[in-house]
Chains A and B, each alone.
Chain A
Amino acid sequence: MSITLYIDNKKITAENGDTILQAAQRNGIEIPTLCYSSLTTKNTSCFVCVVKDTKTGRFIPSCSMEVSDGMTLESDSPDVRDMRKTALELILSEHTGDCEAPCTIACPAHANVEEYVRAGKNGNHLEGLKIIKERIPLPMSIGRVCPRFCEKECRRNTVDGEPVAINDFKRLAADLYYDSYMEDCKALNGKKVAIVGSGPAGLSAAYFLRREGIASDLYDKMPEPGGMLRYGIPEYRLPKDILNKEIDHFKKMGSITFIQNTSIGKDVQIEDLKKKYDAVIITVGSWKSSEARIEGEELATGGIQFLENIALNGWTGDNPGRTIVIGGGNTAMDCLRTSIRLGSPEVTCFYRRTEAEMPAEKIEIHEAKEEGVRFEFLVAPVKLRRENGKLILTSQRMTLGEPDASGRRRPVPVPDSDFDTEADTVIAAIGQKTDAPLGISTNKWGDVDVQPSSCLMADGIYAAGDCVSGPATVVEAVAAARRAALSVIAQFQGTTYGEPYILNVTRGQWQSLKPDQLVYLKAPVERTRVPMRFIDIEERTTTFKEISYTFTEEEIATEGERCLECSCTAKSDCSLKKHSESYCAKPDAITGEKPEAAYDRRHPDIILDRGKCIKCGICVKVCKEVVNAGILGFKSRGFSTHIDTAFSSGLPVDLCRNCKKCIEECPVGALDLRIKN
């Protein structure tokens, strides 16, 4: 006998004995559920599948209620959605684990770190490169210059104080396979985009557009493409033949055209680009040195200009003599180390706070020291003058006062502490600013304003990279450019791009975790980080040769063993994640006590993770009703309710036939195999 009912005013027919959920599924109405399994009797536990009976106003778990003739139900009304969202948020409030590995979350480009590290460990470098290039189109460059956001969050830090050498996986994969790998690009669809600037952001925008079948012309004021990769990052960190190889790949992709020596506002007007192209993306970077605002400033060279000049000269130049570099950022380090290589007998860094506050990467400071750079901390310049052909820099001593808005302690001058230092060259590397082309308006910091999620600046014009964010990293420029490209694609499709909501439950940063809380699928191997090999220090200080070697395949395989594989085994097929994302349920919307994370690794192949368990009851029923083993059961009541085995003695190896039925039916990653592939 067939039954007629209405869901969201849609008339549907069902068979007698069908549940509402079954009837809806058969009629293409999607109702989320976590505790329903077609293999077992009803659980009726998650209440994510509720629908509302329009006549009574009552909420009914659709997995358990059978249809009846004339039923009228709501499945998509605001209050049904609200109930489902709350159910999901309640579950999330006690769900403990890590959807994604912290490294992947930390990567501004959200490259799938854990996956490419695993590929590298297993020797699948081409596969690794493929994973990397889904998010990072410049792996050769980034593999060398990235400040490694991922490694700062690496849980391995808790085990032996040193993260996995993640970035070196990128570098090796790219070095090995960059030429042989060509990604799938869609056929050209006739759209064309003008990109202003061919630095990391411009290149990345072109890349992500091309993959979707969109051509681009990159306009650039410099003689060669690459932007800061070429003119800002010194040769010894990123050799330009490597960069050329990387840029050649873009040319090979086709329909990415580089138009050099062309300044916007001078040679070409923005308005013309707007007319000629379907969209414009501005990625002009931050090329102007900030002023030091001291008397005699004009006698100093701007940090970025200093590097640009050397770059234009093919990384050769005159000996700058005794050199003082003012500033403590990465550009300052680049200037210091470049000066050393140009033969300067004495290179000193003046920084107004202490080493602890220096914004430069620790490794850069360390390497600069190795190469002979001297550091003067708590020193601020006051005046620069020329006397007898020499530069005299007057500085004053500083002391640290109260923390400022950035949280760093504010440097305060020490009275009557002025002193003079003599130098041949003074470089002011205290910051960079955007040099926006004519026709592009900027905000009070001199940067280009955009809508953050879409990178949209004005009608049909997008902007990304340093010119929006202020001077930042290559990987951040790549991430922003991808957003801009996706926004352009969305514009062409007549939609708008919004950053998709990706659920990420996390157990927190490694600093707050104890070592035994990290041991997840397997005990960590006892192995210290594979050290990076450097060229001889003599060569380092006298030539611009790349300072470090790419890891060997053996080294990468060894280093890969150190990865703890923090992400959830079920992240690709987790129903809680899927429904939370479609209902925008947030893991921290409702806060409170979480159950003690107590994963059970006693079974050789299966992990039972109580922290992830949502108490749906499917595994208990599958084991009993389908497998006929009855190994799993519920214990305790209330909030302490959990799945356990008899006498809490772990999954019995003799009784558990390893049929994996419970794993297949577990809607989350509470029961899973202990290996990831």
Chain B
Amino acid sequence: MTIKRIKVGAGSCGIAAGASELLTFFQQEISDIPIVEVGCIGHCYAEPIVEIETDNGSLFYENVKPHKDYLDRILSLRDEGQLVIRPQRSDREMVKILSIAGRIEMNSINEYIANGGYEGLKKALKMKPSEVIEEVIISGLRGRGGGGFMTGTKWRFLSDKNSSEKVLICNADEGDPGAFMDRSLMESVPHQILEGMLIGAYATGATKLFIYCRAEYPLAIKNLKRAMEQIFELNLHNLNGRTVEIRLKEGAGAFVCGEETAMIHSLEGKRGTPRFRPPYPTDSGFQGLPTVINNVETFGNISLILREGGAEFAKVGTEGSKGTKLFALAGDVKYPGLAEVPMGVTLADIVYEVGGAEPGTVKAVQIGGPSGGCIPAEKFDAIVDYDSLKSLGAIMGSGGLIVIGNNRCMVETSRYFLEFTTRESCGKCTFCRIGTKRMLERLEKITGGEGTEADIDFLSDIGNKIVKGSLCGLGQTAPNPVLASLRYFRNEFEAHTNERQCPALQCNKLTDVIINEELCIECGLCVKTCPVNAISEDYIVNNSVCTRCNSCIEVCPKKAISRTKRGSGHYAVKEN
């Protein structure tokens, strides 16, 4: 076998794991083989990943370090260090939208075209715009940003508008904690997104195209800008003689700007706050023009639909949810990363098969990010589609999927998400601005061991009212993590309030730290590590000094130190 190219995964996940250093090292050490930067193949846990492209297929190496040893191993194509399960972690995955992500050079339009890119656009331009929309309707594609509205129908609304100017916006303001599907797509296959947008512009008659991308995604912005330049060079934005305008707008860091009316305000240069609908953006959007907003992943699917046909696309999935869905798999799993699965797989498939979590170690998943809710492990046989998840009190959302292990406290987890939405509320509506704050205060009271049954009732009462009394999706869904946790894990809340215990031993104020004498070898590491000198020379943790920072637990070579129920640890005798 001869090596044709070396591809280094240099998406944000790769860079975070050391891909930049690796690239520099390779460039210094290798002169005769082309080295290219590619995006992410979804296996973020294995980054930095190096793909060796040979004349006889590719080999992947995981966790590659900038060392001579690794280089030798890779160049000699040895088995050691290879990414074994590939390109799928299990047969539950189905790679469609991600099929070339992380496999082609990020900044090469030629490579994109060579891999079937812009064929969808070419095909579309040969059809009537209405036929393109028909094709999207046939595909059954629903918005991947979380709302799940039929994309084709939305497009038809816009195309029906009699306006000389229309606006199409790509929502790339992916803000959910733990979600990175859109970032990965924009970094790895920026042209796939732009192709989808150009097809959308042709189908709907949109004249102005915006990509609203959060500023926290510098690599995505860089790659998209490069891709836009390439489009302009090749004049691909000329749609059968009609040139459309494409602009990229960087968000200023507000989560709420992912909401369509807030995003429009932000694009107009105003404060990013939502407004009451109707009028809907299709009637009056950006600068009063008819406007449609689709998510990155939605656009990512469009070129596939045009290429293979709507009917073919619709073969995958369930009755009401077609195609595949990207999930950002995170939390207590072995293989975190991006997972593309067909609609209709079960949560168990994603958590255990794809994520590699041990059954029995997981108590729930948080799906849909801060707008979604948790689903307990007992319900993991639920299938993943828009309607089934909703019936369980969660939402598909944009695709954040956080696996919650048995050692996590559900009260603390829901507090974490609510803290996020409380901070990110735009401050407009009473219920959202003040209500979330009041909920957060009660949750802090509960995790701090000061809560009462009345606080739990308050959470459920105010939570439901915030859902009913908020203007936009942020407020309407902000209480969901708490409400869903209350629905499935009320016992954990009650343990905090009634027994002053955190069953998962996560809430600091409700736990103590102890050293197991039988396991302790008196090595002294914990004593040395403790930042507050809470561990005595005779290896006893003084819990009235201990800050529950976990440093000793992490440093102990014998796993002799652990958390325990409050009150069962040692406390210094009070001085008289």
Residues of A within 8 A of B (CB): 42, 44-48, 50, 58-59, 61, 64-66, 83, 86-87, 90-91, 93-94, 590, 592-593, 614-615, 617, 633-634, 636-641
B531 at the interface (CB under 8 A from A): no
Nearest B-chain residue to A34, judged by Cβ: B430
Contacts of A636 in B (CB 8 A): 427
- Is the CB–CB distance between A638 and B435 below 8 Å? no
Taking A45-B428, A617-B428 as given, write out 19 further A-B residue pairs in contact, using a Cβ cutoff of 8 Å, ordered by the A residue number: A42-B275, A44-B428, A50-B469, A65-B278, A86-B431, A86-B465, A91-B430, A91-B434, A94-B434, A592-B437, A593-B437, A615-B428, A637-B256, A637-B423, A637-B426, A637-B427, A638-B427, A638-B436, A641-B433
- Is the CB–CB distance between A47 and B430 below 8 Å? yes
Q: In the complex, what distance in Å separates the CA atom of A59 from the CA atom of B276?
A: 13
- Is the CB–CB distance between B471 and A615 below 8 Å? no
Kindly identify, within residues 403 to 436 of chain B, every residue whose CB is under 8 Å from any CB belonging to chain A.
422-431, 433-436
Q: In the complex, what distance in Å separates the CA atom of A324 from the CA atom of B191?
A: 103
Contact of B437 among A47, A48, A615, A639 (CB under 8 A): A639
Contacts of A639 in B (CB 8 A): 422, 425, 427, 433-434, 436-437
Contacts of B271 in A (CB 8 A): 633-634
- Is the CB–CB distance between A87 and B431 below 8 Å? yes
A-B contacts at CB below 8 angstroms, number: 94
Contacts of A617 in B (CB 8 A): 428
Contacts of A48 in B (CB 8 A): 430
Contact of A615 among B254, B256, B433, B469 (CB under 8 A): B433
Residue with the greatest number of chain B CB neighbours at <10 A, chosen from A44, A46, A614, A615: A44
- Is the CB–CB distance between B430 and A592 below 8 Å? no
B245 at the interface (CB under 8 A from A): no
Contacts of A638 in B (CB 8 A): 422-427, 433, 436-437
Shortest distance between the CB of A586 and any CB in chain B (Å): 14
Contacts of B433 in A (CB 8 A): 615, 638-639, 641
Q: In the complex, what distance in Å separates the CA atom of A74 from the CA atom of B433?
A: 25
Q: In the complex, what distance in Å separates the CA atom of A64 from the CA atom of B426?
A: 18
- Is the CB–CB distance between A83 and B468 below 8 Å? yes
- Is the CB–CB distance between A637 and B276 below 8 Å? no
Shortest distance between the CB of B192 and any CB in chain A (Å): 33
Contact of B276 among A44, A87, A634, A640 (CB under 8 A): A44
- Is the CB–CB distance between B431 and A90 below 8 Å? yes
B92 at the interface (CB under 8 A from A): no
Contact of B430 among A59, A65, A87 (CB under 8 A): A87
- Is the CB–CB distance between A61 and B462 below 8 Å? no
A46 and B465 contact, Cβ closer than 8 Å, known pairs A592-B438, A638-B423: no
Contacts of A42 in B (CB 8 A): 275-276
Q: In the complex, what distance in Å separates the CA atom of A614 from the CA atom of B429?
A: 10
B441 at the interface (CB under 8 A from A): yes
- Is the CB–CB distance between A90 and B468 below 8 Å? no
Contacts of B431 in A (CB 8 A): 47, 86-87, 90
- Is the CB–CB distance between B465 and A637 below 8 Å? no
A59 and B428 contact, Cβ closer than 8 Å, known pairs A86-B462, A90-B434, A91-B434: no
Q: In the complex, what distance in Å separates the CA atom of A61 from the CA atom of B469?
A: 8
Q: In the complex, what distance in Å separates the CA atom of A58 from the CA atom of B276?
A: 14
Contacts of A637 in B (CB 8 A): 254, 256, 423-427
Q: In the complex, what distance in Å separates the CA atom of A50 from the CA atom of B278?
A: 16
Q: In the complex, what distance in Å separates the CA atom of A614 from the CA atom of B441?
A: 20
Nearest B-chain residue to A88, judged by Cβ: B430
- Is the CB–CB distance between A87 and B469 below 8 Å? yes
Closest 10 CB pairs of A and B: A641-B427, A64-B276, A90-B434, A639-B437, A44-B276, A638-B425, A592-B441, A47-B469, A59-B468, A45-B428
Residue with the greatest number of chain B CB neighbours at <10 A, chosen from A45, A46, A91, A93: A45
Q: What are 27 A-B contacts defined by CB distance under 8 Å?
A: A44-B428, A45-B429, A45-B430, A47-B470, A48-B430, A58-B468, A61-B276, A65-B278, A86-B431, A94-B434, A590-B462, A592-B437, A592-B438, A614-B430, A634-B271, A634-B273, A636-B427, A637-B424, A637-B425, A638-B424, A638-B425, A638-B436, A639-B433, A639-B434, A639-B436, A641-B426, A641-B427
Contacts of B468 in A (CB 8 A): 58-59, 83
Q: In the complex, what distance in Å separates the CA atom of A615 from the CA atom of B271?
A: 14
Shortest distance between the CB of B432 and any CB in chain A (Å): 9
Shortest distance between the CB of B235 and any CB in chain A (Å): 41
Residue with the greatest number of chain B CB neighbours at <10 A, chosen from A50, A90, A590: A90
Shortest distance between the CB of A594 and any CB in chain B (Å): 10
- Is the CB–CB distance between A61 and B275 below 8 Å? no
Q: In the complex, what distance in Å separates the CA atom of A634 from the CA atom of B428?
A: 10
Residue with the greatest number of chain B CB neighbours at <10 A, chosen from A48, A58, A86, A638: A638
Shortest distance between the CB of A631 and any CB in chain B (Å): 15
Contacts of B470 in A (CB 8 A): 47
A interface footprint on B244-264 (CB within 8 Å = 1, 0 otherwise): 000000000010100000000
A93 and B434 contact, Cβ closer than 8 Å, known pairs A64-B276, A83-B468: yes
Contacts of B469 in A (CB 8 A): 47, 50, 59, 83, 86-87
Contacts of A615 in B (CB 8 A): 427-428, 433
Shortest distance between the CB of A69 and any CB in chain B (Å): 15
Contacts of B424 in A (CB 8 A): 637-638
Shortest distance between the CB of A30 and any CB in chain B (Å): 19
Q: In the complex, what distance in Å separates the CA atom of A494 from the CA atom of B367?
A: 61
Contacts of A59 in B (CB 8 A): 468-469
Shortest distance between the CB of B268 and any CB in chain A (Å): 14
Shortest distance between the CB of B463 and any CB in chain A (Å): 12
Shortest distance between the CB of A59 and any CB in chain B (Å): 5
Q: In the complex, what distance in Å separates the CA atom of A633 from the CA atom of B426?
A: 13
Contacts of B436 in A (CB 8 A): 638-639
Kindly identify, within residues 268 to 293 of chain B, every residue whose CB is under 8 Å from any CB belonging to chain A.
271, 273, 275-276, 278
Shortest distance between the CB of B77 and any CB in chain A (Å): 53
Kindly identify, within residues 439 to 498 of chain B, every residue whose CB is under 8 Å from any CB belonging to chain A.
441, 462, 465, 468-471
Nearest B-chain residue to A45, judged by Cβ: B428
Q: In the complex, what distance in Å separates the CA atom of A93 from the CA atom of B462?
A: 13
